Amino acid sequence: MAPKTTAANGASTILADALSSFSKAAHQALVTVEEKAKSDVARAHADVHDLRRERDEVVRSLHAYELQVKECECRAEGWKTSVEKSELTIKHQVETIAQLRDESQQWKNQLLRFEDASRREIQDWKDQYQRAEIERIRLSARLDELIAEQLHVRVVVRRTYQALTKLSVEHTCQRKEPRVRNAGSCTNETLCVFCATGTREGYTPLERSSRPRADIC
């Protein structure tokens, strides 16, 4: 019985030692696994925190990008409105330029017609002036001719009248008896027709006033 008891005690001791070693190994393994799990959990928490931080940054960037997109859309809308207004303004300006060109062409045509009419009117006035000048020269020459003829007629009439007067005086002096008086001493009512000294046959004052005095002294 003693050997069996000793053997049983030895087996129990070995089994206890084995269980103790296994427990220690298991506990060590659990501690290791737990520490690794804690490390992994901490690492996972850190990764999650980093991911959350990156997500927040991405969200903030996305929000900023959306704001930029909205701002760009607003700018694009403003630019579109400005472009439409510019196109409308350009269209109006093109229409205005076309209208001004038409008006300018009309004024140009009217000016050309006015210049043509003015040129014809000036030519007409020149022709009328030339005709009037020719007529004036003709009338002036005719007037000079008439004046020359009148002067010639006057000279001829005067010479004829003087000749007739001289002949009449000589004929009258031949018919009447001459009276000789001293110069400046004529007291009779008859006076000399040639001078007032009474050197030749005289006439009464009525006859003297009705006949011109001869240019013979």
How much is the pLDDT for 193? 41
Q: How would residue 213 be classed by pLDDT, with cut points 50, 70 and 90?
A: very low
pLDDT at residue 55 is higher than 80: yes
State mean pLDDT over 142-149: 92
How much is the pLDDT for 8? 60
Residue with tokens 């009338």: 139
State mean pLDDT over 93-100: 93
Q: How would residue 198 be classed by pLDDT, with cut points 50, 70 and 90?
A: very low
Domain boundaries, the chain: 176-217
Which of 64-68, 118-122, 149-153, 192-196 is predicted with the least confidence, judged by mean pLDDT?
A: 192-196
pLDDT at residue 92 is higher than 60: yes
Could you give the percent of the chain with pLDDT greater than 90? 25
State mean pLDDT over 185-189: 42
Greater pLDDT, 11 or 75: 75
Could you give the percent of the chain with pLDDT greater than 70? 73
